[in-house]
Chain A
Amino acid sequence: MKRQLLMLTAAVAIAQSAVAADLKPAVVFDMGGKFDKSFNQGVYEGVERFKKETGVKYREFEVTNPSQREQAIRKMAQRKANPVLAIGFAQATALEKVAKDFPDTKFSIIDAVVKLPNVQSIVFKEQEGSFLVGMLAAMKSETKAVSFVGGMDIPLIRRFNCGYAQGAKYAVKDVKVISNMTGSTPSAWNDPVKGGELARSQFDRGSDVVFAAAGGTGIGVYQAAKDAGKFAIGVDSNQNHIHPGTMLTSMVKAVDVAAFNTFNGVKEDSWKPGFNVLGLAEGGVDWAYDEHNKPLITAEMKAAVDQAKADIISGKIVVHDYMSDNKCPSL
């Protein structure tokens, strides 16, 4: 079976070689690395899926320090890679410089905005997805207290936190929201032990639903919730399957889809430069509802969230974006 699959891929690869001649996709991962169990990994899964489905190989690079960002993106462009996909807001400055020097190359960047005629910017409205899971958390909570564990303390994570708090307070007005960040260095993305400790201390302070937006640190948070008999909410990809019965839901951010679409868009000639905001309306963010968390979500909760989702899409509810003014009214 495996061999057949391999041969099939090879056959597809040969068939695709005509396309591959002018399609040389490349991706530059950021410092977290492609196996960060979170954001970069989402991209990795997306581009891997592209490779599997089309047989087109891609170039990749993982940066290890700030100066390598520009170096790597520039090098990809010099080697005639097209499109070049940059990951993370930290690469925006570097991409801007390079994209100006290579006007014929197509660039895409996820999580940042670069206004140039050959750049496609893909950003997510994490606050909207976080709003919905915040509502679910507040409605599920019996103690009227919910909590949040962030990874590294940066504006992007505060945006999650802020959306979550707004959602919780929208559903239950006097709910208490406890927030903690795991740390201030990139290691905060991969510290499950500390994540677990933070979650336990939040449970001690009354919380019974915890939302982790912390990459690999989240694994420790989910385990702590399971051990304490509380509920946890996953992030980025659908993590409901990790501990069925404990995972209330997941805030899904379709990074993999965005990455896949970038490569596929160039392949099918539908790639367009410009601003691409992926919110609830575009399916860029959502809450996960599947067989693993079905027993935990009552019909009433589902109805309320679906209603709020429709209201956000229609513009009836406006979720405040922390990054618009670096402030959060609900915290």
Chain B
Amino acid sequence: MSNKTLPAWIDIGVIPLINVCLAFIVSGFVILLIGENPIEAVQYIITGAFGYGEGVGYTLYYTTNFIFTGLAVSVAFHAGLFNIGGEGQAYIGGLGVGLMCMSLDSFMPWWALLPFAIAAGAAFGAAWAFIPAYLQAYRGSHIVITTIMFNFIASALMVYLLVNILIEPGNMAPQTRSIVESATLPSMQELFAALGMDIENSPLNISLFLALACCVLVWLLMWHTRLGYAIRMIGFNENAAVYSGINTKRVIVITMCISGGMSAMVGINEVMGAQERVLLDFVAGAGFTGIAVSLMGRNHPVGIVIASLLFGALYQGGAELSFEISTITRDLVVVIQGLVILFCGALSLMLKPTIEKLFVKLMSSNKPKENANV
């Protein structure tokens, strides 16, 4: 549509970059307001996120979660479905991962267990997404409302299970027993140690590779399969999809199940990798951040990876910032994250007309003769 006037590199490269810069400028004013030096703050964010081994590890660890939830949101979004339920689907998916790990961890090593854990997590996550999907497709209940409600139901269910049933006896905290060491995913530290390299400790584990593999799978699914075509067609025009013979109801349910299953992979990273047990609130907002990631990444796997990296860096750099400057509380870090979401998500098209005009002007001043000929 708009690509007719703007080359792609401006549309998906320059405009998001300007938006991020704008968000940082406004954040800078907020930091000035509370009497701190914004340049110093930005330095802390950047060095905190990328400046040293542990920071990079945490950044990529958050990135892993956001890739999963971002992909989940994007899959649903291609079918015109706004899946707000990533949080709950990831939570329940993590339960599936945890249950599978705890029932098999004394029998098999992690690499044998991983396919089972992925399957269990995906099944749980998909099941949690299935109900809202069914209600949307066959009963017309709006998916936004039902998935939001399902987040709360997931939360209540998990508290019930962790407090009453799955709690490790004698432990105060509502969490399960830890998964046997040999059955947890190797951390990057262990992986690099096996390769003879020494890196700093962080929760980053090999599920990052799973996340990247998921990106390729989603790309293949969306642009190289019939199902992907059907999903995108529903997103563009549901009526046309019906007219061309697509069973839209069925495809909507399948799409949501894929989306839920994808969210559930957060459970692999958290339950089987980082925390090595099921505990309360292990998703910690990754499901909601996935919405922003998907919006910013224009629902494309490559964009989602980049956006995930940005948000991972914001999470880790933000934590570093509030650690270094005590007047910048974690709430201000949320403000900065919020501004980035606002500028990159909600206001992403704000600057487009201006830049379009600017670009056209630039082009015409560069090539006045060609334009005159046209």
Contacts and interface: CB of A to CB of B under 8 A. Distances in A.
Sorted nearest first, the 8 A-B pairs with minimum C-beta distance are A65-B284, A184-B159, A89-B172, A184-B156, A89-B173, A62-B330, A185-B155, A67-B203
A154 B175 CA distance: 11
Given A65-B284, A67-B274, A155-B163, A184 B155 contact: yes
Contact of A66 (B54, B159, B163, B284): B284
B173 A59 contact: no
Interface string A181-210: 001111000000000000000000000000
Interface string B154-188: 01101110010001010011100000000000000
Contacts of A64: 284, 319, 330, 333
Nearest to B151: A185
A298 interface: no
Contacts of B281: 31, 65-66, 185-186
A185 B323 contact: no
Given A153-B159, A186-B281, A326 B169 contact: yes
Interface string A37-64: 0000000000000000000000111101
Contacts of B275: 66-67
A93 B172 CA distance: 11
A243 to B, nearest CB: 29
A92 B319 CA distance: 20
Nearest to B160: A184
Interface string B279-310: 11110110000000000000000000000000
Contact of B319 (A68, A185, A326): A68
15 contacts: A62-B322, A64-B284, A66-B275, A67-B284, A90-B279, A93-B173, A153-B159, A153-B163, A154-B163, A154-B174, A155-B167, A185-B155, A186-B281, A323-B172, A326-B169
Interface in B235-261: none
A280 interface: no
Interface residues of B, number: 32
B323 A61 contact: yes
Contacts of A323: 172
Given A67-B274, A184-B155, A155 B174 contact: yes
B326 interface: yes
Contact of B282 (A60, A62, A66): A66
B269 to A, nearest CB: 10
Contacts of A90: 173, 279-280
B192 interface: no
A59 B322 CA distance: 11
B172 A112 contact: yes
Contacts of B111: none
B261 to A, nearest CB: 23
B152 interface: yes
A156 B172 CA distance: 7
In this complex, the interface size class of chain A, counting residues with CB under 8 Å from chain B, is 20 to 34
B128 interface: no
B329 interface: yes
A74 B200 CA distance: 12
B124 interface: no
Given A89-B172, A154-B163, A67 B152 contact: no
Nearest to A28: B323
Contact of B159 (A60, A65, A72, A185): A185
Interface string A140-153: 00000000000011
A235 B281 CA distance: 25
A59 B169 CA distance: 34
B58 interface: yes
A155 B172 contact: yes
A67 B322 contact: no
Contacts of A70: 203
Interface string A83-109: 000000110110000000000000000
Nearest to B316: A71
Contact of B58 (A71, A154, A155, A184): A71
B61 interface: yes
A59 B326 contact: yes
A132 to B, nearest CB: 22
Contacts of A183: 156
A56 to B, nearest CB: 14
Nearest to A159: B172
A45 to B, nearest CB: 17
Contacts of A155: 163, 167, 172, 174
A33 B330 contact: yes
A256 interface: no
A29 to B, nearest CB: 9
Interface string A11-50: 0000000000000000000010100000000000000000
Contacts of A67: 58, 61, 203, 274-275, 284
A92 B172 CA distance: 10
A75 interface: yes
Nearest to B320: A75
Contacts of A60: 326
A286 interface: no
A126 to B, nearest CB: 11
Contact of A62 (B158, B159, B167, B329): B329
B172 A71 contact: no
B55 to A, nearest CB: 10
A71 B319 contact: yes
Question: Which of B163, B172, B174, B284 has most chain A Cβ within 10 Å?
Answer: B172
Interface in A108-158: 111-112, 152-156
A62 B152 CA distance: 24
Interface string B21-47: 000000000000000000000000000
Given A65-B284, A66-B284, A68-B319, A152 B159 contact: yes
B197 to A, nearest CB: 20
Nearest to B162: A154
B326 to A, nearest CB: 6
